[in-house]
Structure 1
Amino acid sequence: MDVVIIDKIVQESTREYVYRFLKSNIMQLRLIPGSALSEKEISQLLGVSRTPVREAFIQLSQEYLLDILPQKGTYVSLIDIENVDESKFLRETVERVVVGIACTEFPSDKLFELQSNLALQELCMEQKNYLKFYDLDEEFHKTIFVGCKKARTWSMIQQMNTHYNRVRMLNMAGGYNVTPVLNQHKELVLAIKEKDVALGIKTIERHLNKVKFDIQELYRDHVDYFKQQNPVLR
């Protein structure tokens, strides 16, 4: 099992630790879609009892990341295009409004965070560190929501975004035409700085629609990761 063992956080319960370990490895595609998981194997790997592993399995199944099939076993869920499409719809609907707010009024300290984040994104591009770029991408969008006092809205979106984010991770980890992502982030920061609502909304619409055009190429190269054949996003 090609996974990364993470450190347990102080005051974190065993169930929370197992959940975080599994979700991290699923989202980073170290546990690939369709692969089987064993309670016994995970408990031995982490040195914990099987009960917190079972509880983590249940929680991850509720987030559509694991399929628990009675009498058959537990499997990392295949990427479901209907799930991706619904998440994309939610992000498009909500984030264009949030970006409009950001382009009207945005705290200077959060703008500085966005600009600092951009500098690190450029460094990751130079070093071809696409996994770190993904983390910075997530933090970039979260900062916009937080700056607009919509942190809880961001958390709600993230609960639905598991399949959508695996597609994005697959895209970035493979280095599939990541440059436009960075350029669009720069345009978003410019729009927020200049209070240009039209530019901000136009840019976020193009930005979130990128996955629509990437999905066919990703499917071609990783057909076994997807639930549907010939996936198409609306």
Structure 2
Amino acid sequence: MDVARITIAPSTAFQVHDWLRKRVQQGDLPPGMRISETEVAAAIGISRQPVREAFIRLASDGLAEVRPQRGTYISKISVAAVLSARFIREAVEADLARIVAQTRPAEMLDRMADEIALQTAADQTGNVNDFIESDDRFHRLLALAAGQEAVWADLDRLKAQMNRLRHLSMRAFDRGFIIGQHQQILDALRKGDANASETAMRTHLRQMLTEVPQMAAAQPDYFTD
């Protein structure tokens, strides 16, 4: 396990958990990998207790498995959890799109356009992490534009497994296609077309229905039902 780049200070269980969660979602810690309390604690320079607490929290997220007498292992990606989160996101974000199409807050729509530009730049350089971070900001801005920031916070907590899949799929599939879908959503929002905005959002979030079986077939050891 590569822990040389940890720079958490002061370190707490929450900070260690957030750092580990991010690395799992980005694929730096792949499914099936064993992670060591001793190794992480030594690298950060803290006792094992906060690291143990972070591991427990990671397990409660469904991202790790604590196996008695054997250690802690990164969990496989749950297809059921991915599809459940996708279903909820579609239902919620389709409604958010309708709301924003009716109000068309110019500043927020301009910020969404800025994110599309950042996604294009990240795609050109092959920076998948930056691409996905911008993708998340694009969708968060939709919630903000609808006056529903708390809704995005709830969605963000739901999509831990989905994020793991996204980091795999964004390396395998055409990111330009996702950029095009974002542009279609934004164009419909700017026109104030609620029906087209909803349809564009649903089409975009249903893309994962195609990606899940393809990624599971390509890397079966990474996935579980």
Match of 2:169 in 1: 171
Match of 2:5 in 1: 5
Structure 2 CA distance for partners of 1:152 and 1:6, relative to 1, 3 Å: farther
Q: Percent identity?
A: 29
Rounded Cα–Cα distance in structure 2 between residues aligned with 1:98 and 1:214: 24
Select the residue among 173, 189, 194 that pairs with 2:191: 194
Cα distance per residue 1:6-55 (max 9 Å; x no partner): 5437xx65222211211111111000011111111111122111011011
Structure 2 CA distance for partners of 1:192 and 1:22, relative to 1, 3 Å: same
Rounded Cα–Cα distance in structure 1 between residues aligned with 2:185 and 2:7: 35
Select the residue among 153, 156, 167 that pairs with 1:155: 153
Indicate whether 1:221 and 2:218 are aligned: yes
TM-fit CA distance, 1:126: 1.9
If the length of structure 1 is used for normalisation, what is the TM-score?
Answer: 0.90
Amino acid paired to 1:119: A
If the length of structure 2 is used for normalisation, what is the TM-score?
Answer: 0.94
Check conservation: 2:98, 2:198, Cα contact below 8 A: yes
Match of 2:90 in 1: 92
Check conservation: 2:3, 2:43, Cα contact below 8 A: no
Cα distance per residue 1:195-230 (max 9 Å; x no partner): 1111111111111111110122212322111013xx
Check conservation: 1:37, 1:73, Cα contact below 8 A: yes
Rounded Cα–Cα distance in structure 1 between residues aligned with 2:96 and 2:79: 25
Structure 2 CA distance for partners of 1:142 and 1:44, relative to 1, 3 Å: same
Q: How does 1:1-234 map to 2 (within 5 A)?
A: 1-2=1-2, 5-8=5-8, 14-172=12-170, 174-228=171-225
Gaps of 5+ in 2: none
Rounded Cα–Cα distance in structure 1 between residues aligned with 2:34 and 2:44: 17
Higher mean Cα deviation, 218-227 or 82-91? 218-227
Check conservation: 1:28, 1:169, Cα contact below 8 A: yes
TM-fit CA distance, 1:3: 5.3
Check conservation: 1:101, 1:148, Cα contact below 8 A: yes
Amino acid paired to 2:197: G
Rounded Cα–Cα distance in structure 2 between residues aligned with 1:52 and 1:212: 38
Q: Could you say what the CA RMSD is over the residues aligned between the two structures, in angstroms?
A: 1.6
Question: Which structure 1 residue ranges, 4+ long, deviate > 6 Å from structure 2?
Answer: none
Structure 2 CA distance for partners of 1:51 and 1:141, relative to 1, 3 Å: same
- Which has more helix, going by share of residues? 2
Rounded Cα–Cα distance in structure 2 between residues aligned with 1:3 and 1:164: 24
TM-fit CA distance, 1:166: 0.8
Check conservation: 2:78, 2:161, Cα contact below 8 A: yes
TM-fit CA distance, 1:72: 2.5
Amino acid paired to 2:187: L
Match of 1:232 in 2: none
Gaps of 5+ in 1: 229-234
Rounded Cα–Cα distance in structure 2 between residues aligned with 1:13 and 1:129: 28
Match of 1:231 in 2: none
Rounded Cα–Cα distance in structure 1 between residues aligned with 2:80 and 2:172: 24
